[in-house]
Amino acid sequence: MTDRVVLAYSGGLDTSVAIGWIADATQAEVVAVAVDVGQGGEDLEVIRQRALDCGAVEAYVADARDEFADEYCLPALQANALYMDRYPLVSALSRPVIVKHLVAAAKQHGATTVAHGCTGKGNDQVRFEVGISGLAPGLKCIAPVRDLALTRDKAIDYAEKHNLPIETTKKNPYSIDQNVFGRAVETGFLEDIWNAPIEDLYSYTKDPSRQHDKDEVVITFEAGVPVAIDGEKVTVLQAIQKLNERAGNAGIGRLDMVEDRLVGIKSREVYEAPGAIALITAHQELENVTLERELGRYKRGVEQKWGELTYDGLWFSPLKRSLDAFIASTQEHVSGDIRMTLHGGRAVVTGRRSDTSLYDYNLATYDEGDTFDQSLAKGFIEIHGLSSKIASGRDQRLGHA
């Protein structure tokens, strides 16, 4: 029986050429897998047919938009996940859902190997291969660009020689990855980190400095899940899509950063993630209202580790699963409404209300109706600082202070 290789297929030049390239190099049949995570662009049926026209024996197409939003973007939202305190894991979140479908296709079509189009310099090679080994340890992985020396020039020559139905002459100066949670742009003139981004880079957001009206939005959460916008019920996918449009119109979610890649190099990336940033901003503020202080403090450390594990391709790791359970347990009381103003590149919280709030007006107020017993404060301060006071006395006695 002829061996089969499942290929993560985007429909572009490299993965289209990879179908024949892999077949020639391995003597295996290629099954192409395309996964819709809200990246837009061409219709998936067109992409599926192109894969077949380029030599794939089967083409597996999955509409994973709701799955991606519910099972990958939502956990990231509940974790307030921002790698290096800024990046909402746009690309990192999509890789494990693609991996899940690659593994499913491999089982369905009897493949022993999974292929992807990553280079040897990026994070995605790790995310794909570690994810695949985490779900199906018996599958092998190959990367034509990295392992079979498939350069862009070779890809163009191969496509022209074999009359493949793919554009080979125009070369976008940027490398772009996008899904419903955001968009990532790198390479080209951006590799000189002194060069400022130009407006042509952006697609999900409009120039935040342009004149536009303020947009007020109310986001409703139930147990950490966005369920309504301005009183209209939404799915998680719809919440992201609606806020991509409204926050994007206000120029929210643009990021220009030099980040630490997993492979050890620093990389300049330009991101735009309007819906993600607006939702995380609202969710963080609702947690400020509803989470007990020590739980909130501890969760912030868990959030950082959760983001690092996801960025580093360890979505299916035991630690990540355990952190998922902790974060899920913190969301029980994260319910209520957050009002925000979207304007000038910023999502500014202007109101909060929740039936599970820990904010007590009568304890917080300095006006009439104050129920806080201020006479207790003096003793509290004395006990709270007692250990430091004792240590300071010792240090002064020994001349160390």
Task: Measure the CA–CA gap between 30 and 19, rounded to whole angstroms.
Answer: 6
Per-residue pLDDT of the chain (401 residues; tens, 9 = 90+): 689 999 999 888 888 989 998 988 889 999 999 999 999 877 888 899 999 999 999 998 899 999 999 999 999 999 999 999 999 999 999 999 999 999 999 999 999 999 998 888 889 999 999 999 999 999 999 998 888 777 778 878 888 888 888 775 556 667 889 999 999 998 889 999 999 999 999 999 999 999 999 999 999 999 999 999 999 999 999 999 999 999 999 999 999 999 999 989 999 999 999 999 999 999 999 999 999 999 999 999 999 999 999 999 999 999 999 999 999 999 999 999 999 999 999 999 999 999 999 999 899 889 888 899 899 999 999 999 999 999 999 999 999 86
Per the annotation, where are the binding residues for L-citrulline? 87, 123, 127, 175, 259, 271
Burial 77-91 (b: 16+ CB within 10 A, else e): bbbbbbbeeebbbbb
Catalytic residue among 4, 48, 65, 95: 95
Residues whose CB falls within 8 Å of the CB of residue 163, separated by 6 or more in sequence, listed in order: none
Level-2 CATH architecture, domain 176-291+333-353: Alpha-Beta Complex (3.90)
Task: Measure the CA–CA gap between 344 and 363, rounded to whole angstroms.
Answer: 35
Q: Which pTM does this prediction carry?
A: 0.94
Instruction: Quote the pLDDT of residue 82.
Output: 98
> Taking a C-beta distance cutoff of 8 angstroms, is the pair 95, 179 a contact?
no
The amino acid that residue 165 corresponds to is: P
The boundaries of every CATH 3.40.50.620 domain in the chain are 4-171
Task: Measure the CA–CA gap between 160 and 10, rounded to whole angstroms.
Answer: 19
Instruction: Quote the pLDDT of residue 150.
Output: 75
The boundaries of every CATH 3.90.1260.10 domain in the chain are 176-291+333-353
Instruction: Quote the pLDDT of residue 168.
Output: 59
Please, what is the end-to-end C-alpha distance for the chain in angstroms?
79
Instruction: Quote the pLDDT of residue 172.
Output: 62
Task: Measure the CA–CA gap between 83 and 80, rounded to whole angstroms.
Answer: 10
* DSSP notation for 281-343: HHHHHHHHHHS-HHHHHHHHHHHHHHHHHHHTT-TTSHHHHHHHHHHHHHTTT--EEEEEEEE
> Taking a C-beta distance cutoff of 8 angstroms, is the pair 127, 348 a contact?
no
Catalytic residue among 66, 70, 146, 175: 175
Task: Measure the CA–CA gap between 292 and 294, rounded to whole angstroms.
Answer: 6
Residue 270 exposure: Cα atoms within 13 Å on the Cβ side: 23
Catalytic residue among 36, 48, 65, 124: 124
14 is catalytic: yes
Beta strands at 182-186 and 175-179: parallel, antiparallel or unpaired: antiparallel
95 is catalytic: yes
Per the annotation, where are the binding residues? 8-16, 87, 117, 119, 123-124, 127, 175, 259, 271
175 is catalytic: yes
Per the annotation, where are the binding residues for ATP? 8-16, 117
Taking only Cα atoms into account, the Rg of the chain, rounded to an integer number of angstroms, comes to 25
Question: What's the CATH fold of domain 4-171?
Answer: Rossmann fold (3.40.50)
* DSSP notation for 156-172: HHHHHHTT-SS--S---
Beta strands at 4-8 and 29-36: parallel, antiparallel or unpaired: parallel
